[in-house]
Chains A and B, each alone.
Chain A
Amino acid sequence: MNLKEIKELIALMNENELMELEIERDGMKIRLRKSVSGKIETIAEGHVVPKVAQVVSQEQKVSEPAKPEQNLTAIKAPMVGTFYRSANPDAKPYAEIGQVVEIGQVVCIIEAMKLMNEIKSEVKGKVVEILVENARSVEYGQALFMIEPYAG
């Protein structure tokens, strides 16, 4: 990975308002994290045997650049585990983009220690974004969905 590529990664982070980015490629791994002051620092870099499951966290911004008046709420993971969009591989996902969810409606599963935990929405609104891919690991507090809340 050369300096030009690293600079491109930093630009990518800033554009997408990411706090942390980890890339693994061709046996090389680099992790960049934005500190509180906004400066980006390299946390870890090195050769590694390719493996699955990096954990990437994303800063939640209240307003997206395109729609400054939009007021989005995140549904965050209440536990550590593996995120699944549907009850089983053959079932339909619990929530799709554009779908309206009610308070208490199941939006996904987080599996931990072989137990499937139904995760329920705490707001009523429209699913605007799904932030985690199916079968990826999530940590406590990680944002899973962005919801545009509906009043009432």
Chain B
Amino acid sequence: MFSKILIANRGEIAVRIIRACKEMDIKTVAVYSEADADSLSTRLADEAVCIGPAQSSESYLNIPAIISAAEITDVDAIHPGYGFLAENAHFAEICESCDIAFIGPTPENMRMMGDKMTARLTMQKVGIPVIPGSQSIIKTKEEAVKTAKRLKYPVIIKASAGGGGKGMRVCHNDVRLISSLITAQQEAEAAFGNADVYLERYVERPRHIEVQILADKYGHIVSLGERDCTIQRRHQKLIEESPSPALDSKLRKKVGDMAIKAAKACNYLNAGTVEFLYDRNENFYFLEVNTRIQVEHPVTEMVTGIDLIKEQIKIASGMKLGFKQDDIKMKGVAIECRINAEDSEKNFMPCPGKVDMFLVPGGPGVRVDSHVYTGYTISPYYDSMIAKLICYGNSRQEAIKIMQRALDEFMILPIKTTIPFHKHVMSDTLFLRGDFATDYVEKLLGTNE
């Protein structure tokens, strides 16, 4: 087992990792930028090293500075958290060459899954469904109609060079497809200088379902159930829950098995998440693999009773997984609300600043993962998430009740946070019914205007 670990991250995840290390009697080193000199992680860690100025590129993304800090403190391993260098294959390789264990997947895992086309092909080869799409660029109306017939309507025209919703057109029939093709090509040319478009089946009002997996160095891979992360705003997750209210045990097993298959297909190591889109017809489509521990990992921890950070550390130190698939049982329901320093009543405008009162909710079924404390100043340099509020109950109804109660207790003053938004969702009929798709937040906020 490692005797000292350096945490190459900040904020709540740095605190999370330090907590796991302390419970395992592993010494900790926190690295910090000048802006984070007063952060909770520097206080909880056994040692703290300043590695650079506030800018992430010169601190948390600064590989030489982090490796240098690891060398002078003589650590055995580095935990990269999420974001920053967590999925940087080059960084993982440098750690290896410096004889420092990297707590996470292999550089090969990161490279393979980082390239979306390669990831799709890898999955297709082992029979995991991906969103059906055209094999190449669509140039003519005839090609378009023929491809749409194969894919089945509705289809979406997407710009090959594109993003940000530009050059995208949803079409439900041939007539619409033909008239949209030219417009889509023109839009793509204007936005990206490249008129190339392709077709994909359009998954209507999907849900976002992801599966947590763990894999050790001996080829043992297990799945720890799914998380439903459908509630997003601008592709940022706001609320996550486990298990998904949309799945029954049959579907749960189906997607769990798919995830294990996906992990096996890329010789996955350590913790990872396989993401799927779920349509209204019991179909799962592979989206991508996240080769890191995720923000929303606590909901899985609550329902399985397994500490994922500790498992990551154990796997990286060469231990075998201490449990088999049959030993993993999911019990109860956990919901997580990401509390951000944003004014949810003013279009989620970021509000960094000093927190004069930070009163965390308590009682049964409440867990708060945060790096904030009374008197702490939230700086503008990093992301706006300041706390994760996780509530656990025997049923979804109970978990929601506890979350409502906890959100009422939670006091973060005087800055504005997204607590009001979460309170709104927790009392919304559609959410209570468990019936929502990725357009949920848009619709919810739209009705408020």
In-complex Cβ contact of B43 among A43, A81, A113, A139 (8 A):
A43
Task: List A contacts of B46 (CB < 8 A).
Answer: 44
- Residue pair A80, B72 in contact (C-beta under 8 Å): yes
Given A140-B50, A140-B52, A141-B50: A82 and B43 interface contact (C-beta under 8 Å) = no
A142 to B37, CA, bound (A): 13
Given A139-B49, A139-B50, A140-B52: A79 and B34 interface contact (C-beta under 8 Å) = no
Residue of A nearest to B72 (CB): A137
- Residue pair B50, A113 in contact (C-beta under 8 Å): no
Number of B positions contacting A (CB below 8 A):
22
The contact string, 1 if C-beta is below 8 Å from chain B, for chain A 100-140, is 00000000000011000000000000000000000001011
A65 to B53, CA, bound (A): 29
- Residue pair A80, B34 in contact (C-beta under 8 Å): no
Interface centre among A79, A80, A81, A82 (most CB of B within 10 A): A80
The contact string, 1 if C-beta is below 8 Å from chain A, for chain B 74-89, is 1000000000000000
- Residue pair B47, A80 in contact (C-beta under 8 Å): no
- Residue pair B34, A112 in contact (C-beta under 8 Å): no
- Residue pair B50, A142 in contact (C-beta under 8 Å): yes
In-complex Cβ contact of B65 among A55, A82, A140 (8 A):
A140
What's the least CB distance linking B179 to chain A, in Å? Answer: 59
Given A112-B64, A140-B34, A140-B65: A82 and B52 interface contact (C-beta under 8 Å) = no
- Is A151 located at the chain interface by the 8 A CB criterion? no
- Residue pair A113, B34 in contact (C-beta under 8 Å): no
Number of A positions contacting B (CB below 8 A):
19
| Residues in A46-86 with C-beta less than 8 Å from chain B | 51, 53-55, 57, 79-82
- Is B267 located at the chain interface by the 8 A CB criterion? no
- Is B69 located at the chain interface by the 8 A CB criterion? yes
Interface centre among B34, B71, B72 (most CB of A within 10 A): B72
- Is B197 located at the chain interface by the 8 A CB criterion? no
Given A43-B43, A79-B65: A140 and B72 interface contact (C-beta under 8 Å) = no
A57 to B53, CA, bound (A): 16
- Is B51 located at the chain interface by the 8 A CB criterion? yes
Task: List B contacts of A139 (CB < 8 A).
Answer: 49-51, 69
Given A139-B49, A141-B50: A81 and B68 interface contact (C-beta under 8 Å) = yes
- Residue pair A113, B71 in contact (C-beta under 8 Å): yes
A138 to B198, CA, bound (A): 54
Give the secondary structure class of B's interface: mixed
| Residues in B91-105 with C-beta less than 8 Å from chain A | 98
What are 19 A-B interface contacts by the 8 Å CB criterion?
A43-B43, A51-B74, A55-B49, A57-B50, A79-B64, A80-B65, A80-B72, A81-B72, A112-B67, A113-B67, A113-B98, A137-B72, A137-B73, A140-B49, A140-B51, A140-B52, A141-B34, A141-B50, A141-B53
Task: List B contacts of A55 (CB < 8 A).
Answer: 47-49, 72
Task: List B contacts of A53 (CB < 8 A).
Answer: 72-74
What's the least CB distance linking A149 to chain B, in Å? Answer: 23
A137 to B49, CA, bound (A): 10
A112 to B98, CA, bound (A): 12
| Residues in B42-68 with C-beta less than 8 Å from chain A | 43, 46-53, 59, 64-65, 67-68
Given A43-B43, A112-B64, A113-B71: A80 and B98 interface contact (C-beta under 8 Å) = no
Give the secondary structure class of A's interface: loop
- Residue pair A80, B43 in contact (C-beta under 8 Å): no
A43 to B72, CA, bound (A): 21
What's the least CB distance linking A48 to chain B, in Å? Answer: 8
Task: List A contacts of B73 (CB < 8 A).
Answer: 53, 137
Given A139-B50, A140-B50: A82 and B72 interface contact (C-beta under 8 Å) = yes
Task: List A contacts of B52 (CB < 8 A).
Answer: 140
A1 to B286, CA, bound (A): 60
What's the least CB distance linking B1 to chain A, in Å? Answer: 15
What's the least CB distance linking B76 to chain A, in Å? Answer: 13
What's the least CB distance linking A68 to chain B, in Å? Answer: 28
What's the least CB distance linking A83 to chain B, in Å? Answer: 10
Residue of B nearest to A141 (CB): B50
Task: List A contacts of B72 (CB < 8 A).
Answer: 53, 55, 80-82, 137
A141 to B50, CA, bound (A): 7
A67 to B191, CA, bound (A): 65
Q: Which 4 pairs, one residue from A and one from B, show the smallest C-beta to C-beta distance?
A: A112-B68, A137-B72, A139-B50, A80-B68
Task: List B contacts of A140 (CB < 8 A).
Answer: 34, 49-53, 59, 65
Task: List B contacts of A113 (CB < 8 A).
Answer: 64, 67-68, 71, 98
Task: List A contacts of B53 (CB < 8 A).
Answer: 140-141
In-complex Cβ contact of B49 among A43, A51, A80 (8 A):
A80
What's the least CB distance linking A85 to chain B, in Å? Answer: 17
Task: List A contacts of B69 (CB < 8 A).
Answer: 80, 139
Task: List A contacts of B43 (CB < 8 A).
Answer: 43
A112 to B66, CA, bound (A): 10
What's the least CB distance linking A69 to chain B, in Å? Answer: 29
Task: List B contacts of A54 (CB < 8 A).
Answer: 47
Task: List A contacts of B68 (CB < 8 A).
Answer: 79-81, 112-113
A51 to B86, CA, bound (A): 29
In-complex Cβ contact of A80 among B38, B51, B74 (8 A):
B51
What's the least CB distance linking B222 to chain A, in Å? Answer: 36
Task: List B contacts of A81 (CB < 8 A).
Answer: 68, 72
| Residues in A1-55 with C-beta less than 8 Å from chain B | 36, 43-44, 51, 53-55
A36 to B354, CA, bound (A): 14
What's the least CB distance linking B409 to chain A, in Å? Answer: 28
A80 to B33, CA, bound (A): 11
